[in-house]
Amino acid sequence: MKKARGDQKSQAQKPTSRFAWEWIFFLCTLALLGFVWLLDRDAGARAWSSFLALAGQILPILAIVYVALFAFNLMDAPVWLKRYVGAESGLRGWGVTLGAGALSLGPIYPWFIVLGELKAKGMRPALAAAFLYSRAVKPPLIPIMIHYFGAAFTLALMFFILVFAVLNGIVMGWLMSRPEKDTV
């Protein structure tokens, strides 16, 4: 009885404390910036400017992502999701994921949110990991990379990144399918 009451209490408290650590994390980073500013005002000011510039780039993209998520949440596990990245997507799933990862643009943060939603709706963890890894292939930046390191180095690096995107995906899929107590 006592335990049941305790469970009810903890469940009742859950909604209010749900996002507590997220806000604590944000306040800690803000405090860290304040600490750096106290030690070195110039570095603190430059870090703050850098943050504002980054936020200016990312927040508009996030707004679009949340609108897309809202539209996505209106649907119930769409058919295309199961077909292309779901449990039965097979080789097509790998092809779609690697291609989409390599061609995906912009900062990684909005992609975390998109992948989190897709994963919750049935995307294979292996494909989520492979997508994130294949983002290391940046076709628009290949000419710059060739300029700095040469064509042979760039092509070999891109090839191995794609190979390891698949390998990492396979290993992540296996790790995520294991019971939680056996892993990190």
Establish if 18 lies at the interface with another protein (CB under 8 A). Answer: yes
CB atoms within 10 A of CB 75: 11
Residues 110-139 that bind another protein (CB under 8 A): 112-113, 115-117, 119, 125, 128-129, 132-133, 135-136, 138
Establish if 180 lies at the interface with another protein (CB under 8 A). Answer: yes
Torsion, CA 69, CA 72, CA 77, CA 81, rounded to 10: -90
CB of 104 closer than 8 Å to CB of 96: no
Q: In this chain, which stretch among 3-11, 14-22, 77-85, 86-94 interacts with another protein, using CB under 8 A?
A: 14-22
Establish if 179 lies at the interface with another protein (CB under 8 A). Answer: no
Q: Which is nearer to another protein, 6 or 54 (CB)?
A: 54
CB of 87 closer than 8 Å to CB of 122: yes
Establish if 161 lies at the interface with another protein (CB under 8 A). Answer: yes
Choosing from 8, 54, 90, 92, the residue that interacts with another protein (CB under 8 A) is 54
